Every structure is written in structure tokens, then in C-alpha cells.
Amino acid sequence: MPLRLEIQRRLTARSERVKSADLHPTEPWMVLSLYTGAVVVWNHETQAIVKSFELCDLPVRVTKFVARKHWIIAGADDMQIRVFNYNTLDKVCMFEAHCDYIRSVAVHPTQPFVLTSSDDMLIKLWDWDRKWTCCQVFEGHAHYIMQVVFNPKDNNQFASASLDRTIKVWQLGSKTPNFTLEGHEKGVNCIDYYRGGDKPYLISGADDHLVKIWDYQNKTCVQTLEGHAQNVTCVCFHPELPVILTGSEDGTVRVWHSNTYRLENTLNYGMERVWCICGQHGFNNVALGYDEGSILIKLGREEPAMSMDSGGKIIWARHSEVQQANLKVLGEAEIQDGEKLPLGVKDMGSCEVYPQTIQHSPNGRFVVVCGDGEYIIYTAMALRNKSFGSAQEFVWAHDSSQYAIKEGNSVVKIFKNFKEKKTFKPGFGADCIFGGFLLGVRSNSGLAFFHWETSDLIRRVEILPKHIFWSDSGELVCIATEESFFVLRYLMERVTTAQESREMLTEDGIEDAFEVLGEVQEVVKTGLWVGDCFIYTSSINRLNYYVGGEIITIAHLDRTMYLLGYIPKDDRLYLGDKELNIISYSLLLSVLEYETAVMRKDFNTADRVLPTIPLEQRTRVAHFLEKQGFRQQALAVSTDPDHKFELALQLGELNTAHELALEAESEHKWKQLAEAATTRCQFSLAQECLHQAQDYGGLLLLATASGSAEMVGKLAEGAEKDGKTNVAFLTYFMQGRTDKCLELLIKTDRLPEAAFLARTYMPSHVSRVVKLWKENLSKVNQKAADALADPSQYSNLFPGLQQTLLAEQYLKEAHVGVRPAAEYPLVTPNEDRDVLEESKGFIPKRDSAEPEEAVDSMSESCVAPSEPEVMEQVFPIKHDSCADPIPLTEKTIGQTEEAPLTVPEIEKHVEPNRAHSPCHLMEDVKSENILKAETLVSAEERLIQEPCAEVPATEADIIQSSPVEDVGSSDELTVEENASAAEAQPVSEPENILSEENAAQTADMLISTDLKADARITSESAALEETFSPDQPETGIIPSQVSPVVAAATDETPVVKQAASVEELISLEPTESPLLDVPSVAVQAFPDLSLDPPHKSDEDAAAVLKPVPVREFEQEEETAEPPAETVDGPEVANVPGAEPEGSEAPVERNVAELEAGSEGSEEPAEDLEEAMNNEVNCRLFIRNYKNFSNAPTKFYF
């Protein structure tokens, strides 16, 4: 029978004429030299050119790899030898080696020597360690020397082939050849040595179309191979297979058996003449070079002929020699996973056929060797011949007494006890057969399973398998294809029932014979079953096992390995490679049994097996349980802290995870636990975890999300202490602690940023920061430092700086600290605020008068039209010194029909004498409402509870009041209450404007509006109006930010009293005043009017009252001319105070001036009733002012 070799074409590369080819020993590379002068390197796995060299314009006849130096050596017709590094593509060396065409190059296997042969009939030896010095020249041939080859068995010996029809064998160091082989009738083109250890053979090919095999020890020709029709250009002994390959100019490659010299195959790929053949040591690949390109083919199977029985005895074939190794000799020696086992090898003798496969019987008593179309069954102990025969394939049954062979493409024979039992022809053909619990036969149309005893068809499936693996129980089977593998369950009971009843039988067999358990998209190279676990090696060199739908990786292999078997008592898995090296990996049987029990839902067995599993293997079992969905059990089984931590997080057992994190002290674990705790709303645990992880970003997120101001404060301090300046800056900024932000920037030498921060938020610190910035910058660039302007020196370069300073002070005093998150909807957003506008008219504490009432009313800006004829004037008030003055700051706005004017706020000292003060007329109003004012609740509560009341109107029209008018009458109550308080006890010491007592009193008075008081004031005002001219408009008084707001209507205009806006009363943030929102309206800030202490004289007191400007640009707008008097005259707010001595004259003088201003005349007013009317009318301003401004009215509280 012919040698059964599978020949596969792996690469076809079209190109110019290929003169030589070489295969890299380790990389998947093939180097070709072309007749055009180029050298090309192909990757035969990716089918792509990876490197290319353009050497010259003449043919390159030879190239060789030097793997240990990463070189490519090439010889060309330009007589040059070129050496390149194939990794960097750099030229290592180039020199002229011969004086004619270079035909061949041979590299010494171990020494730094290179042989070259040429048409100059010389052979030269070069040493690259000696800078490519020519060590020796061999002379003796009489014609072109076509090829030289080193002897693989004696590296100091080489042979040469020449067109002088001879073959000479040379020795390094000798100038003359050892001997000459003659026999060819024409020139010899090629030679090669046989690499096997059993035959000292040399092969040659010549122009006489013959191939001769020589025994170089006996110096005789042992065989002549005939068949080629043209010159034989190349010959090759395959380094692994028992074949000889010869190429000829007739375009064919012939495959000969190296033992029988029988022609096995002829290859003709239609690419014209064949010029070179190269085999690869350790592989079955062969490179062929043609006129039109090159081809890479694979001969036979790469899997070594190797087998192991259940006792640990391994038999393999090295060429035709059979050897045995026994694992028992290892004894108790420690075995490392993946390490080569030091086994003793025993020669069993030579086999009559070339072994392509070796396979033990299931019980291990026999071993079968297949090859050369024959099979021989030997006893495993002594390798004695038990049976033999012709067969293309041989398979064992599950029972060692049965086996089957395939003859031809259609006949299958079944033997039992070494005797033929049955012969049958499958209806679909027989391309391949598989052994096991059932006999598998593959055809072109699919796979068919037959019963061993009856040869009945069990089941036919449309699948083309490469391998079939049966479990020991016969219940499970794996069918491996080219792309994946299937795991099936064989249902023996259903098959038996169907065979007995003859029901459910179809032309494809029994449909319910198999149950598909799963499909895995992996290519199986070799495999075996251990229990219900299928262990296999994949095409990507991984050692895995499949159990219950899950794949567990045992090891990653660095090369292709083949499974030999599993020995349960050793708990180890054994594998071998092409070089017949044996390695092993640990795989506990108890682990496999436990996993098998879990997959079968046999938890009792699993619990019984678990204690036998070593602790170091528990984690692997835990991973398996986790994949099966048993996380709780996996947590209990696992011994790996990392794995337990992950499982605890998945199960939500945060206490367990916390304990594990404490043990591990891993920042990553703390962050994971913090995330899990946050997800489950365990914020205290999350805070602890973030603190342990030093995750300031997470702490910031947690603190802000939970609204914990205390946590934010502690975080800021901790972040600054630990050098987390970004987080510290952000937390300080969120708290509004811009001073800390500034110091942090200065501390970290971020002086430019500090300067701009100060310019934006703290202009009072700009000079200090600029000074530091200049000092720091001067160390680098003095010129640039000098270019920095300090506001204290160059105020003209910083327009509006005074206004920003005022705004800074305003924000500092208006800051209310931490506010509850519930007030967020009531707070005006920063983007909607204009701080510069808000701060207009603000008087800082340090600029205010010391008495409490004077500080209690800060100036509020008023709005006036921007017509050029309007003038803003300040009316000074003359008065004598008083014992205990109580100033009151109010805003008054006077308006006439012809020319409305803005009148500044007037601070007036009024005596408490009831005989001379107009405020005594309101005493009745005060007495009626004082009880109510004392019992009122806070402003926020009363604001919601206060009902809306109406004052009866004197005319048909009823006008709804604005928020200023709503609390108009309460201002009058405030005036009287202040007077009463002053009478009861004079004020001797000034108090703070923002004291809690005064603020509460103001809020109470704001809400304590009494309808009777409003009615009396209105009626009294109407009676007093008789002394005024008929066309005089109503006037009103707008208090400061803290003072109560007073608004009243005339007797012709009834007032509907409404509650003020909740948002305005509750909001602690300063909001924008509608008076400042009117477009194109000039804004006037009122000066502060201060009083001297009580001990000053009357003359000094007259000079103390003077306007204090707020902004610089307002001072520039003021003129030196005397202020013009308005038609209505100035509006005065009188507040009763303590009764100092000698204060009657100033009061009379002040009242006279007020009356003169109202009537537009210079005559003083003597009538007390007229002065009172003037005062009341000053409070009735709001309606006319609204008509004047055409804008909504809104005030800060």
C-alpha cells in the first residue's frame, strides 16, 4: 500500500523566477531570492510579505537564514556576498567573495563559518567572527560548483556537487577531498544529506534526469530513482518524514518513500520549471521555487506518533525506531507545572513500517502502529507482533477486544479478538472512521454512528468532524470540527427502546439518540474525558477543560502540545510536543469530582467531596461556583481575599467587605466599597471608606450631595493639610471663604491666579498680592515685574476700584453664613445679581455714626429722571447740641409736576418735648397700637398669617397698594414707639445697627399694621392738608434697608393693605431693588449725616452735620453752588427722642426751614399745625413717585 500522506498547500506566491528558498527554524518566514536581484521574506501564516531587499540588478542565486545572528546571507551574480539584519534591515557586511557567479552558500550549524561555491570552481570558508576573513580555499573541481552542504551528523564534513559530474566530500582543515563519488553521466546540480541516524546516505540530482542515493561510508550508490523527463535541479531528504522530494525542469515535484524508494506522489502546480526545494526541521513544511513563483506545502500530520496508557507508560516513534518511557521512575520527585520531565528512554526496536500513528488499546495491553498503508498490533510490554494487516485507518472500540479498519474509500471491517467479525459498506461512503463507544464513519455528506455488535445505524448527522472523543462511561461525546466542538449526551435507554420496538427509526437512524449539551467556538487539537470534564488543547495553545457549559483554563502553553493522558493517583495531566518532550500540569481529581457533582445538581456528593479539596484549590472551585450562579457558596469556599471581597460586594454583604478591606488596606478596595455603600445609601460607611482611601474627590461629592456644611469644612482643612490643594481650594470657595482661597494660592506660589482672585473677590488685598507677585517675578524677569501696576500707586489704571471695595465690604457685612438647603428656591441666584448695583448707597459700619438709631438706617439709593434740568441737592439741618441725640436716617423723594427733584435723605435730631414737637399729635395712634406691636410674632410667621384689610375709600377709585404701601402705617408706629422709648429712658451709648433686638423690633413693626392707626393718620393728614396749596403733590418716605417702610394715601385715594412678598421677607440674600432697575435713570447715593457727641457745644453741633459722599464720581458731580429749593420743599422725618436741655430753639429753627422749603418762601413757619402737616405730607410720597418712575418698587429688608 502507498504511504498515506496528506498534502496541503499553505502558500502560493507569484513572482519572478525563484532561484533559492529557505525556511526560518522558528518564525513562520520563507526567504526567496529572485532572478531580478531582489530578496523577499514571506510570512506563510499571514500570507503577506514582511521584508524585502533590493540587492542588485543581477540574479541572486542563493539566500540563507542565520537565525542565531538574525541575519540573511545572499550571494549574487555580481560576485558579492551581502549580509543583512532582517529585524532592522541594516546591511551588516558586503564583500567580494569570488571572481565569478556565486552558486551556493552553506552555514555551519554551530561555528561562525560560511561556505560559498562559485563558477570559479572554488569553495571558500569564511569566518564572520574574524571580520569575514577567508579561512580556507578548497580546490579540486574541474567545472562550476553548483552546491555545497554540511553533513548534519559530522559538522566538520561537507559535500559539493559540480558540473564535472562528480560529488566530492571534504573535511574542514584539509585542502584535498576525502573522496569522490562518480556515477552521473552529466553534470550534478544538487546534493543533500539524510538526517536520520540509521542511514549514512547522500542524495544527488543531475542533468541526466536521474536521482542517485549514495552510501558515503561505503562510497557506493545504493539506489537510482528514475522518472523525471528533464534535468533534476533540486533534491531533498525531508527532515521529519520518510520521504525524498526531487524537482526537475519538467515542472514536477516527485515524492519518494525513503525506505522503499517507491514513488508516492507527483506534484505539478503548473508554474514551469522547479529550481529549489527546502524542508524545515521539526515541521512538515516544504518550500518549492518555480519560474513563476513559490509554493509552501505541508506533508502529513504534525502530531507526533505518541501514546500513553493508564499506568503512565509512554511509547513514541522517532522515525522508524520505537521508544518507551515510564513515569513511575520519577517517584516522589517534585514536579513543576510546565517543566520538562527527566524521563529515562528505553529503545523498543525498529518498526517494519514508518509509524505515522501509535495508539494504545483502552486497557493498555496492546499498542497499534499505523503507517505505509499497514497496521501492526504489538504487545505493549515487549513490542511483540500480535496481528497485522493492510489498512488506511485503524480505530479501537470501547472494548479492547474489538477494533475496526478502513480499506479503500468504502469498506469497513470490524474485528473481535483479532479475527474479522463483519465487513460492511456504509451507504454514504467512508472517508474516515472514528472509534469509541460507537463506530463513527465520516463521509462527504456527514457523520454516521454504527453499533459495534450489529453494525446498525444509530444516528446520522450532517456534520464533518475531525476528531471524536468519548467519555469512559459512554454517556458523553465530543465532536470536534474545523471551527468548533459540540458536546452531546448519548441516550442509551432510548436507543435500546427504539431498537426493540422498531419504532422511531428513520433513514437517518434514531432521532432521540443524542441530546446536544452545548457548542463551543474553539478548535480542538487533542482531547480526553475525565469524568464529566472534557480536557483539551486548543488551536491557540491553551490547555482548558469544559464542564457544565463553562470553560476553565488550566494553563497557557508556549508551543503546540498534545494530550497524552491523565493519571488520577498523581492528580496530574501529561502532554508531549513534536520534539517528544513530556510536561505535566496539576489537576486535582477531587476538584473535577466536585465540579461534576455540582453540574449534576448532586449537592450531597459535592458537600462530601469539598473537604478533600486542598485549601490552595478552593479558589478555583469558588470561581467555578460563581460562574454557575452560586455566589453565596463561592464566598464560603473561596480563600482568596480579593475574590471574597468581589463576591461580598456582589452579594451586598458590606460588613464582610469592610472587614476584608481593613485587612487588605488597599486604596482600590476602599473606593469600591465606598461606591457600593453609596449605592445602598450607607453614607457613614461610604464616608469612612473614602477617608481610608484618601479620596478627597469622593468626599467632596458626598459632602456636597448630603448638604453637610460641617463635613465640607473638615474636608477643606484635611485636604489643605494633606496637600490636596485643588480640593481644598474648591471646598473653601464653595463655603465662600475667599480669604482662605487667596492664602492657598499664595502658599502654592500661584501668585498670578491669586492676584486675579483678589481683583475679582477681594480688591482690598490686591496691593498685597501684587507686591508678592512682583517680588517673585523679579527673580525671573525684572522688566516684567516692573510692568505690574499696584492699585495703591496707580489708582487711575483701576477705574471703579472704590466701587468694588464698597461692594466687598457690603458682601462681607451682608453675608449670612450657612443657610439650610430648604431656602434654596428663595435665594436669588448669583448670575441674577448685580452686586455693584446692590452696594450703591451702602455705608460700612466703620463710616456710620455711633448711636444705634443712626446706624440702624443705612442710606438707600433713589431714582430720578435723567433730564438735564434735574438737580440733586443736600439740605443741611441746623440744630443745637443735645444731651442724647437719636438720629434716624430716611430717604425722601420730592416731586413736582414741572420739575421733579431727588432730595437726599435727611437725618434730623428731634427733641421729645411734646409742646414743641409735631410728633405729639400721633400719641393716640401709638397708644392704640403699642400693645399689638409687643405681642406680634416674627415677620416671617406674621407675613403668612396677616389678613388683607381694606380702608374705606373716600372716592370711587380703589388703588391696590404696592409692597411699600402695605406697611406704610407701621412706619408711623415705629416713629411713636421710638419716641416713647426715648422718653422712658434716654440712650446714652450707641448700639450696633444689626443687633438682634433692633432687627426683631423692626420686623415686628413691619407686620404690626393696624387699620385704625392707618385711618387716623389718614384723617389727620387730610385735615392738615388745608395749610398746603391745592396743587401740592403727595409725598412719601422710603426708609433704609433696615428701617420700616411707610406708605399712605391721601384722603382722595383709599389704600388696600396687602401682605409683603414672602420671598422678600424671608430671603437673607440681598436682592436687586426695582428702583435701581429703571433704565436711563440717574442714581443718587445719600450722604450719611452724623452728630457730635452730646457734650459738644451748640456752635460745634451746627458744623458737625454735613454730607458724607459715598462714591468718588458722585462727589465730582456735585457743584459748589447753593442748592436749589424744590417746590414742595424738603421732606423731613421726625423721630421723638430724649429731652436734652436747651433744644427748643434748634427745633423751631428746623421746622421753620422745612416750612420754608415746602412753600417755596424764605419766611419761617410759626404755626405748629402747619409743620405737622408738612411732616405728614412727607410720608405720602409713594404714589406720585411710582407715577414718576414708571417702574415697580422693590426694597431690601
SS3 146: strand
As a whole number of angstroms, the distance between CA 452 and CA 415 comes to 10
In this prediction, residue 593 carries a pLDDT of 85
- DSSP-assigned letters across all residues of 792-806: TT-GGGSTTHHHHHH
What residue ranges in 743-809 does DSSP mark as E strands?
A: none
**Mean pLDDT by 10-residue block, N- to C-terminus, for the chain (1197 residues)?**
73 93 92 94 91 90 93 94 91 93 94 94 94 93 95 93 95 92 94 86 94 93 93 92 92 90 90 93 90 91 86 86 86 83 86 86 91 87 88 90 88 91 86 92 90 90 92 92 92 88 81 90 92 90 87 88 90 89 89 83 85 84 83 86 87 87 84 86 85 84 82 85 88 87 91 91 91 91 90 88 88 77 82 85 62 34 32 34 35 35 34 37 39 37 37 36 35 39 38 38 37 39 39 37 33 36 33 35 35 37 35 38 38 36 38 39 44 45 37 31
- Beta strand extents in 577-635 (DSSP E only): 582-586
H or E element, residue 572 = strand 572-576
77: DSSP letter? T
> Which pLDDT score, from 0 to 100, does residue 427 have?
80
Return d(Cα 926, Cα 1180) in angstroms, integer.
19
> Number of helices and strands (H, E) in the chain?
31, 64
Q: Which of 395, 373, 313 is nearest to 348 (CA)?
A: 313
- Here the cell at position 924 is 393716640
Residue 1056: predicted pLDDT: 35
Residue among 920, 948, 926, 913 at smallest CA distance from 1058: 948
Q: What's the whole-model pTM score?
A: 0.53
Instruction: State how far the Cα of 478 lies from the Cα of 437, in Å rounded to an integer.
Output: 12
Candidates 31, 74, 73; CA nearest to 51 is: 31
What is the Cα–Cα distance from 803 to 1110, expressed in whole angstroms?
9
pLDDT of residue 382: 83
The pLDDT, as a whole number, for residue 1173 is: 52
Q: What is the pLDDT of residue 4?
A: 67
- Cα separation, 166 vs 202, in Å, equals 13
Residue with cell 493517583: 569
Query: CB atoms < 10 A from the CB of 521, how many?
Result: 7
Q: What is the pLDDT of residue 846?
A: 56
Helix (H, G, I), strand (E, B) or coil at 941: helix
Q: Which of 380, 378, 415 is nearest to 396 (CA)?
A: 415
Strands 1081-1084 and 862-865: antiparallel
